[in-house]
Structure 1
């Protein structure tokens, strides 16, 4: 009876967060969020900074399991109260973030980019964004570091764990808790390791099942008795600190993760929590660090969209130092405001709404958020004509898919040229029409996204969603190569030539072409820009002046591809990157030439073809292949 009374008193204390806060855990939260922010500013500063998310999961697993086990054993656990408390803890600041981000996105994003953003916003509203980002791929949309809600994947995982996984802990008989949790933890860790090591799947990174072991490591701490001696406490604390430190500096995002590699930082975090370190002189009790832990949720919420906004403006992952400092200042200011006026007040008993009122507020917010931001964006932005926003209709060209016979130019001609490559070849479909009509030849254009569709291309390097199409388009190109004497190869060389494996594959391709007596004409990359042109036009309309100019990388890599070509007598470089058309790129007169930062639009592709058709024809003087 005395034990039951004690458990009930302990359970009552758990309802008051101020009585259960541990400074060491708050400092662990601070460490985690600081690591994440540093990584997101520049991952070279702290290669394993992304592991801060995993440390958060361990802490959450410990806190939630502790609450569940104590209240269940005391007979006071209520699933409705549990869900309500989690929503009250997470939802106010989270929905404030979504509201502010959606409004700013509607003002700042181009129509195309807003259309890419809005599906993630809708999933984030329902804590489902992890499954959206697991399969997200938009070659012409924002980069991952420009997606303002990408970080909500971890909050989605956490909420899914609270609602769907943690209640299962209630079903485990008390005497089997440790063995059941340990078995589940081990099985799911092996599953995640297999998926990352052998399937190379990006989806597993965002998967709830792959992250459950991290929460369960925290659960194991909740089930364990604290070390009984000071020596054991010190050993656990120091071992945990070493594991976390080594992980932050030696695990990086190029390694297969999560899975086995998630264990060192998670076990390290668990050891520090388990040690219940209470030395007031320890860094774990440093007041500024404890305070940072108190506002860590708001810091995590707001840091990413602020950084993403700056990176979207500059069109680059790396920000100028001045802008980095401004971004850090905004992160601190906005996060503190969020903690003070949104997050903190909603935790106080007097500010708590009834479940019915809370549901009405949430429903009103969701409906308003789904309607208002799209209307703002579409009214503020006058869409550019279609021919200025794409290089071709994707449903009519053989890019990452076969569409008809892939023929451009003079369809009646019995002479044929084969053009292959990545999207920098795909952007030349209209160019090929102009050239082919002028030369009275037909040009078969077969291309693949991110992929130079030649044998031995290092397909594992490119984004997972386009690997299959890379392989199938390479097979289609191989068929066409057997009957081709003249081959035009085009690509984004400042991307492709950075891969040593690709350079090897390219040389093998050129050797094979020489053995077949095939001529290869390599098109130099057209000038690329420092910023997506559509964004630059949008920013200028808002009174901002983005840093728009030519990117010098294209010239550098055009020289590198020229050096490779010099070794093969059957290979010729066609470099038109410095013709008059591109003197004032991205414009020719007042006409935009580009659809983004490095692809010509339909108008630009046609003007490019008209500008070089005579030189191109001279370069490809007969012999030309005759169709079979």
Structure 2
């Protein structure tokens, strides 16, 4: 195909915002859509090559996958192995095991499914994952496993070809819209809900190859500029609350489509994006994309990211230039590296990544690297998530049986899960029947007659999921609430939720005519494992730090809103020995109360039951009197 320098210029406009987004630049809050620009470009370029070769009867599946291997695998393996070496020296066992699993998924192009299983692209957790960005590469390769075969099978059936292409596009974009509404993470990572973006590039390839639309002169200029405006708007107008991909992804996808179709016949746009600097950034864009995230993530683990962003950006650029010149370019040259060599390299390289990852996983992230007194603490960091969820999730929607003990409906988010663990570890509620209901914090743990009034407070990309989950709705849960003796609420109370909390309590009390107990928030301040390990073991039990300012503010607001309410139980001060400015974050045995400052470890739940003993005993006693 004819080389289009302005497409490489557009690659530069795609990769730079992605990097700036991952670097935390607020002005590029929608920089993540650079990936969608890449999808359309990739769909266009690959489809153009496929269509031209198939029409001339010179298409070869073997040649196609050989070229993909030359293009992708050498630098991908270089970055992955480099990241594995650095991660084995930097990451704690918990994070190293997670990294190892992502490493295993990399050569088999299933990283998108792995990161989907871990949930979430936005937020602190994802910033710490060195290979999180490989998900997009996996989606592309999953598409290219089937698309060439599809083209070959129907190349002689034009009606079927166009009908199938339109059908696949419609199914994918409609699926993306509806799946995004109910579960944004699934829509974000799954190939079916992303395929339409690559197919948009394929449509552009067909239009240009068949000359179905001839855009020239001033019209080409206007259309290509409109495309760039749409892309630019997404970069600065979208953020982590945007329901994405869904219909919002149509903005950058349409923008890229318009640019690809029109830019080659424009003058000004083509000249600008064919300029040397932009083209060079476009040429090294794949290396830039691969290198930046491991560098950023590992530096964040070392708590050295914020102060060294310019240096880290420079390091990313240098490594990208070197890998482009020394790895990408030679491996694409068939006269330098034969097909046999690339096959052997691809097989052994992929196998090496799988073996390295498997060794890391089987050895639990090598905890023996650390001193004996630190190993138990590190084990806590890897186990607390499962512990937090297990008991609560097992009791979701459980119906009460007989009259063997008090019946409690416990409603809330992960903080409610922590509270159930505290109740269980206290041994004071062994005769209680709990039935649980999860209401995510962003939805608001509220029982209201009209939920439309709180919709403006809920992030747009979570609103439809909140509606699907239904707060306290459903006949089965209504029956549980009616059969319960008491209703208990616990949550990481959002600031806006507090305004509606008294009304919610009144609604529950009026409808179900039973006590409604409300538990406040807890917080132990910022937990940084690297800093905590530096504290001598004999000093850990007395180490103190303040709770977060936001937690203190929420706690004060809860006090103000529920002042005088007999069934409100503040948590922050009791768990911090009476002072939210001096929270003991270790148990007497030197183990962590919380792994992240918000959620309890098993030892933290046991210690919390001790610190809250008087409150828990009072509640237990009142239940016995009913």
Cα distance in 2, alignment partners of residues 349 and 540 from structure 1: 56
Q: Tell me if structure 2 keeps the 8 A contact 1:102–1:373.
A: no
1:127 and 2:109 correspond:
yes
Q: CA deviation at 1:414?
A: 6.7
Q: Using CA pairs below 8 Å that are at least 6 residues apart, which structure has the higher relative contact order?
A: 2
Distance of aligned partners of 1:32 and 1:569 in 2 relative to their CA distance in 1, 3 Å threshold: same
Q: CA deviation at 1:254?
A: 3.0
Q: Tell me if structure 1 keeps the 8 A contact 2:94–2:378.
A: no
1:192 and 2:181 correspond:
no
Q: What residue is the counterpart of 1:309 in the other structure?
A: 298
Task: Spell out, residue by residue over 1:273-300, the C-alpha distance to the aligned partner (whole angstroms, 9 max, x if none).
Answer: 2330455984213322111111000111
Task: Spell out, residue by residue over 1:417-473, the C-alpha distance to the aligned partner (whole angstroms, 9 max, x if none).
Answer: 776543334334564357564xx99555555667477646999949979x8798799
Q: CA deviation at 1:259?
A: 4.5
Q: Tell me if structure 1 keeps the 8 A contact 2:426–2:606.
A: no
Q: What residue is the counterpart of 2:189 in the other structure?
A: 206
Q: What residue is the counterpart of 2:284 in the other structure?
A: 295
Q: Tell me if structure 1 keeps the 8 A contact 2:181–2:464.
A: no
SS state at 1:531 partner: coil
1:91 and 2:65 correspond:
no
SS state at 1:522 partner: strand
Q: CA deviation at 1:187?
A: 1.7
Task: Report 1:393-542 matches (<5 A).
Answer: 394=387, 398-402=391-395, 420-429=411-420, 431-432=422-423, 437=428, 446-447=435-436, 451=440, 455=447, 461=462, 479=480, 482-484=483-485, 489-493=489-493, 497-498=494-495, 500=497, 504=500, 507-513=503-509, 518-533=514-529, 536-537=531-532
1:552 and 2:545 correspond:
no
Cα distance in 1, alignment partners of residues 334 and 612 from structure 2: 73
Q: What residue is the counterpart of 2:319 in the other structure?
A: 334
Cα distance in 1, alignment partners of residues 479 and 560 from structure 2: 25
Q: Tell me if structure 2 keeps the 8 A contact 1:185–1:217.
A: no
Q: What residue is the counterpart of 2:539 in the other structure?
A: none
1:69 and 2:35 correspond:
no
Q: CA deviation at 1:23?
A: 1.8
SS state at 2:192 partner: helix
Q: After the TM superposition, which of the residue ranges 157-166 and 112-121 deviates more from structure 2? A: 112-121
Q: What residue is the counterpart of 1:325 in the other structure?
A: 310
Q: Tell me if structure 1 keeps the 8 A contact 2:181–2:465.
A: no
RMSD across aligned positions (CA): 4.3
Distance of aligned partners of 1:84 and 1:470 in 2 relative to their CA distance in 1, 3 Å threshold: farther
Cα distance in 2, alignment partners of residues 260 and 164 from structure 1: 25
Q: What residue is the counterpart of 1:159 in the other structure?
A: 141
Q: What residue is the counterpart of 2:606 in the other structure?
A: 606
SS state at 2:391 partner: coil
Task: Spell out, residue by residue over 1:516-558, the C-alpha distance to the aligned partner (whole angstroms, 9 max, x if none).
Answer: 664444333333231354x5456889xxxxx986422221111
Cα distance in 2, alignment partners of residues 233 and 311 from structure 1: 44
Q: CA deviation at 1:475?
A: 6.0
Distance of aligned partners of 1:175 and 1:369 in 2 relative to their CA distance in 1, 3 Å threshold: same
1:80 alignment partner, one of 62, 69, 84: 62
Q: Tell me if structure 2 keeps the 8 A contact 1:117–1:147.
A: yes
1:183 alignment partner, one of 163, 166, 182: 166
Task: Report 1:96-175 matches (<5 A).
Answer: 96-137=78-119, 143-170=125-152, 171-173=154-156
Q: Tell me if structure 1 keeps the 8 A contact 2:425–2:605.
A: no
Q: Tell me if structure 2 keeps the 8 A contact 1:131–1:207.
A: yes
Q: Tell me if structure 1 keeps the 8 A contact 2:12–2:281.
A: yes
Task: Spell out, residue by residue over 1:194-217, the C-alpha distance to the aligned partner (whole angstroms, 9 max, x if none).
Answer: 423654453222222232222222
Q: CA deviation at 1:154?
A: 0.8
1:561 alignment partner, one of 555, 558, 562: 558
Ranges in structure 1 where 5+ consecutive residues have no aligned partner: 1-13, 15-19, 542-546
